[in-house]
Amino acid sequence: MSVNPADSDIYGSLYGTPEMRELFSDSASLQFMLEVEAALARAEAKAGLVPATVADSITAAARVENLNLTRIAESTRNIGYPIVGVVNELRRLAGEEASRYIHLGATTQDILDTALVVQMRQALEYIRRDVLAVARALADGAVRYRDTPMAGRTHLQQAVPISFGFKCAGWAGPLPAHLERLDQASQRMQVIQFGGAAGTLASLGADGPAVAEFLADELHLGVPDIPWHTARDRFAEIAGVLALICGTLSKFAFDIALLMQTEIAEVSEPHEAYRGASSTMPQKRNPIASEYVIACTRGVHALARVMLSAMTQDHERATGPWQSERLALPQCFVLTAGALAHARAIAEGMIVDTARMRRNLDAGGGLIMAEAIATELTSAIGRAAAHEAVAHACDRAISENRPLSEVLRADAALRLHLADKAIDRLTDPARYLGASRVFVDRVVARIRALA
């Protein structure tokens, strides 16, 4: 049983992905710690502080399947961190000579932070891959429905016509910027943490900076200007970018859920038997994927605040804020992966009912074209008068339950400026899509240029 549904055997597929959960599992996390310890031994061998044969022995022993996890768990309960237990196990496995050199010059946080950096590097590759997949799927939809008219809605009411391609492009539009943010934040994050007891590397003397360089090289990471034990901006930035990605996904999901409403029914999630079913209402096809995108997003947004608050740390080693990051950051990744998986499934398989879109456009009796008509009249009678005249015509159409075109044709004053052909043209939603094509093409071109 799991307290967190993202780690549950029952709920896990709704709140995350097996791939991301495995990456942040106990065994994977311990393996990353072992890899950092082994890399440190090799780095210190390059610096002449550790015999090369000893570094080889440590590297060979640094396999999670060799560890006694019960001992590590007991040590962690007692000490508060797993590193002492991990180091003791590594000493047991690597042999007596090697045990003298394991963890030389490092502190617990050096190993945990650096291991988390390596872990997150892989996690961010998963996130980037899925963001790009969602962007490409939505770009394909933007192209396919570039000229398909539908109702644009503001304040949940029909406003003016748009194309469904324009709507897809709007959903996809922020994603290239998110990929750029992701790449930049990832680059800033990919540095080692290696400062020893209080960040000065004093126990290694003059060799400290060289060991840091060798360690970074072993792990394919950068070297920061100064150890960052209590400067947590890198991790907080990653959480913030994940929160932004989820925010964009949840806007997409919320729109899909609204478009799936029975009274609208223009777009729906891909369907399979019993997907989104009700335990009592056989007809239901609930927007279940969209609901979990929104749920995962709310979790990430809450956890991002934890990461921001964890930046307020005391002196050279934090008493609590650093520990709280462990509650938040892995969950941010798992929940973001879950949101992306659902969003990708929707984007790649959504069912679009173009005929329903047209019926909904027509359902308002042409009222959605009021702006177009008022704009046409502006050159003849001025903007204020045109707005007032069309508003009056709309009121009549609503109160008398008549098409707007019929009301316009019956209005003698407006007929002076609106011929039948003009009324036919001005009440055709497909002719009032503005620069939708231009905007679609821009977004699609940007996404297709992404690597």
Cα separation, 13 vs 275, whole angstroms: 14
Choosing from 2, 25, 27, 278, the catalytic residue is 278
Q: 158 phi and psi, to 5 degrees?
A: -60, 135
The stretches of 5-82 forming alpha helices (DSSP H) are: 12-15, 18-23, 26-46, 52-61, 69-79
- Which residue type sits at 38? A
Choosing from 155, 279, 315, 399, the catalytic residue is 155
What's the token pair of residue 134?
């969602």
Cα separation, 173 vs 440, whole angstroms: 9
| Residue of 376, 228, 445 lying closest to 316 (CA atoms) | 228
Q: Tell me whether residue 278 is one of the annotated catalytic residues.
A: yes
| Residue of 39, 33, 52, 67 lying closest to 98 (CA atoms) | 52
| Residue of 20, 197, 27 lying closest to 123 (CA atoms) | 20
Instruction: Return the number of other C-beta atoms located less than 10 Å from residue 417's C-beta.
Output: 14
Instruction: Return the number of other C-beta atoms located less than 10 Å from residue 322's C-beta.
Output: 19
First to last CA, the chain: 41
**Residues with catalytic roles:** 155, 278
